[in-house]
Amino acid sequence: MLMKRVSLVFMIACALGLPLAIQRVGGGAELRPPAAEIPGVDELPPHLAELVPMCLACHGENGVPNYAESPVIDGQHEGYTYIQLRDYKNGARKHEVMNEIVKDLSRQELRELAAFFAKRPWPRLEQQAEEGDDILAERLASAGMCKECHLDDYMGESTVPRLAGQLTSYLVATMRAFKTKERANNAAMSNLLDTYTDEEIDALARYLGAL
Amino acid sequence: MKTHTSWLAGASLLALAASSTGIAQAQEVEGARKYGDIRTVTQRMPNAAAGDGNNFLHTNHNYRQTRFYPNAQINTANVHRLRPAWIFQTDVKETMETTPIVVNGVMYVTTAFNHVYALDARTGEQLWHYKHKLGPITVYCCGPNNRGVAAYGDMVYMGTLDAKLVALDAKTGKLVWETQIADPELGYSETMAPIAVDGKILIGTNGGEYGVRGFVKAFDAKTGKLVWTFYTIPENSVGVWATHDFAGRDLKRDIAAEKEALAKLGDPYKTLGGGVWQPPAVDLERRRIYFVVGNPSPDLDGSLRPGDNLYTDSLVAVELDTGKYVCHFQYIPHDVWDLDAVSPPILVDVRDKDGKLVPGVLHGGKIGHLFVHKRDDCSLIRFSEAMIPQEDMWTLPTKEGARMLPGANGGVEWSPKAVNEKLGLVYVMNLHQPMTYHVESTPYPGGKLWLGGAFKVIPTEEQWGVLSAVDYHTGKIRWELEAERPLVGGVLATAGGLVFFGEGNGRFNAVDAATGAVLWSFRAGAGLNAPPASYTVDDQQYIVVAAGGNTQLDYKRGNNIIAFSLAD
């Protein structure tokens, strides 16, 4: 999409005009509150605070993502969010928009952004699973020992992400990306998901999204 | 039996008088008025811990880690009268592997995510609660575990998931100092109970699944300053290119390919793993510590780490005062199954090959043998018959997955063993959990989980546990007791001729140390996967254990500390 170096300002414009590449979930992208009106944003240095409205344009002003591919980041664990931003920066995780957004930010800045989003409340997405998903998914999760790391209620901790109530369409996409190694920043997750069919991954995603 | 009673007696009487008169007085425990300053742990207390029938000063009872509690008030004749005396519920319902420490009637317990509670050991009443504020980055493989504190001087010490060592005021639970041991972003974390000895706090590290470089460090107990570091991975980790294990079994190594890899990649010591996450045994006379070193990183992929991978999967001894290397014995050179050495070693006298009694070291490995070593030079005297099924050893991992027994959890997991020296028996927890071993080479991922493949439990195969009583003078199994689920958690032996252990289904058992006959059982309602302890206050002996389940084996979680005593 964007191969050349582009300015952040251009990125923001680009981000907001992205529905070509990214499928819209709901309204709100154009609502962009001014930075100053976002709760807690004053704890960030001004140049980071400036970035937040752009993040929210995709990840959702009230935490509900605006696009099917954008994950919930509000209320996600600080350690996990930081590690993802770090991985987007060093290229271990590839996504053209996210790579571009974080490329000039320092470790300290990434940590501050992660801390900011971690303090925001996790949104309720009210997603439904399908009939029979729970039985299948619980069997699949037990075989994969998912709870050993994601913990008892899939709430995660620190650098292990919360999965409960994450956007289902994103979970499908990212688990399939782990499987094909398109998402290559965790070999253990890739090896594990490689043993599941796409249909099984879909059922797991619907189950987790509905928790 | 009771070695410190003279100065305790007065305080005990006072305590007894106060305990029956309700809340107002009970609060006084908080300021330690009842006990004066005798919570202070002076060096002579742990030195004499093996004979201390009052306290439980060390997560494995004493420096030799015998887990043998020398009080016989609760014994084979009366254990059927054992009943819960009190139950304390922590705020954290997650995996519990803590051993309660008891100092003069005050108990210290830890929970998942690094909470510490001080309790009145007679009543379970809370004296204080410390919640460690974990940093944003913690990286650990197998659950947010903690295995307990070290009590020393006026402080209690805990290692944290974000790789810190914290020192708390034993009276108030207030933080006195904290030290960053290593960088959690690179996969370092702490779950083991530290060991306090001669003004030093000893602690190792987790991280064998993340490409760390393992170590044991000694910190100054008063200030938290680093005194010495022993890296479990020397800069030359290659070793002797061993082709067979201690039993003469072929390890199926491709030495030529490894040598080629070494020439190309260099020595892999910087990311070779080798965690130490169980306490070292301390030999005060020889001024040495003995500990076991965990698996190499990446677990299943040997192609990136040519050589024997010293000192992974080994028993190692170093000097207590300097951390200088003394000797080692490697169980599995170039391990590609994560069948490492984790259960804490025990120091006892053992019969050597000529039947002579010599200072020895016992260790139960994930391969399912009990190993008996000469303490002098770490050499192997004998190993026991296999305590669990071994099949197709050593089949190399494959892309599709190769079955070999035991599975990667053992054999003997981290569960501490216990000994009864009179009977010459060591009590060892084992599990049987068949797995397939899959290899897939991936480069060092900078602090992320680095298995180099996957372990998969075979869902159609039965799993179970077994408690084995092994005669360490001969290596023969004297008796064994099967459990319906894999056993993890640890064992306690007592002078009452008893052995206590818990199960994943929540059962807590007392068995006859000589015969294995089950004499008493209790259902805790959550997985009982923590090492039991015992203590005596006001002439009443208690058995105490945490029932919090287990993350790794997904046993039902709980948050209870349960203390038992004899009903009238």
DSSP string, B382-445: EEPPPSS--BSTTPPPBSS-EEEBSBTTBSS-S---EEETTTTEEEEEEEE--EEEEE------
- Give contacts of B453 with chain A, Cβ < 8 Å: 191
Distances (CA, A) of A1 to A4, A20, A22, A25, B388: 9, 11, 12, 21, 57
Distances (CA, A) of A77 to A38, A89, A157, B20: 20, 18, 6, 47
Query: What's the CA gap between A75 and A167, in Å, rounded?
Result: 13
Give ipTM to 2 decimals: 0.79
Q: How far is A59 from chain B, CA to nearest CA, in Å?
A: 21
- Give contacts of B437 with chain A, Cβ < 8 Å: none
Mutate to test the interface with B, among A112, A117, A152, A186 (most CBs of B within 10 A): A152
Scanning every residue of chain A, which has its alpha carbon at the shortest distance from the alpha carbon of B140? Answer: A149
Specify the pTM.
0.90
Please write the tens of the pLDDT for every residue from B538-565.
Answer: 999 999 999 999 999 999 999 999 999 9
Q: How far is B132 from chain A, CA to nearest CA, in Å?
A: 14
The neighbouring-strand residues paired with B318 are B289, B325
Scanning every residue of chain B, which has its alpha carbon at the shortest distance from the alpha carbon of A76? Answer: B136
Distances (CA, A) of A65 to A13, A164, B162, B259: 18, 15, 31, 52
- Give contacts of B548 with chain A, Cβ < 8 Å: none
**DSSP assigned state of A161:** P
Cβ–Cβ contact B186 with A under 8 A: no
Check CB contact under 8 Å for A188 and B139: no
Cβ–Cβ contact B552 with A under 8 A: yes
Distances (CA, A) of B150 to B61, B154, B175: 11, 11, 15
Mutate to test the interface with A, among B95, B440, B448 (most CBs of A within 10 A): B448
Nearest beta carbon to residue A114 from set B136, B448, B454: B136
Nearest beta carbon to residue A158 from set B136, B143, B554: B136
Q: How far is B409 from chain A, CA to nearest CA, in Å?
A: 14
Q: How far is A206 from chain B, CA to nearest CA, in Å?
A: 23
Nearest in space to B219 (alpha carbons), one of B157, B134, B175: B157
Query: What's the CA gap between B328 and B371, in Å, rounded?
Result: 13
Cβ–Cβ contact B554 with A under 8 A: yes
Nearest in space to B121 (alpha carbons), one of B5, B21, B48, B12: B12
Q: How far is B179 from chain A, CA to nearest CA, in Å?
A: 20
Q: What is the pLDDT along chain B (568 residues), one digit of tens a residue?
A: 333 333 333 333 333 333 333 333 333 333 333 444 567 999 999 999 999 999 999 999 999 999 999 999 999 999 999 999 999 999 999 999 999 999 999 999 999 999 999 999 999 999 999 999 999 999 998 999 999 999 999 999 999 999 999 999 999 999 999 999 999 999 999 999 999 999 999 999 999 999 999 999 999 999 999 999 999 999 999 999 999 999 999 999 999 999 999 999 999 999 999 999 999 999 999 999 999 999 999 999 999 999 999 999 999 999 999 999 999 999 999 999 999 999 999 999 999 999 999 999 999 999 999 999 999 999 999 999 999 999 999 999 999 999 999 999 999 999 999 999 999 999 999 999 999 999 999 999 999 999 999 888 898 999 999 999 999 999 999 999 999 999 999 999 999 999 999 999 999 999 999 999 999 999 999 999 999 999 999 999 999 999 999 999 999 999 999 999 999 8
What size, in residues, is chain B? 568
Check CB contact under 8 Å for B448 and A186: yes
3-state secondary structure of B338: coil
> How many other CB atoms sit within 10 Å of the CB of residue B482?
11
Q: Cis peptide leading into B7, omega within 30 of 0? A: no
Active site residue B340: no
Check CB contact under 8 Å for B554 and A148: yes
CB pairs under 8 A between A and B: 73
* Catalytic-role residue among B52, B245, B301, B338: B338
Please write the tens of the pLDDT for every residue from B377-408.
Answer: 999 999 999 999 999 999 999 999 999 999 99
Q: At what angle do helices A168-180 and A198-209 cross, to 10 degrees?
A: 140
What is the residue type of A209? Answer: G
Nearest in space to B412 (alpha carbons), one of B284, B288, B290, B501: B501
- Give contacts of A150 with chain B, Cβ < 8 Å: none
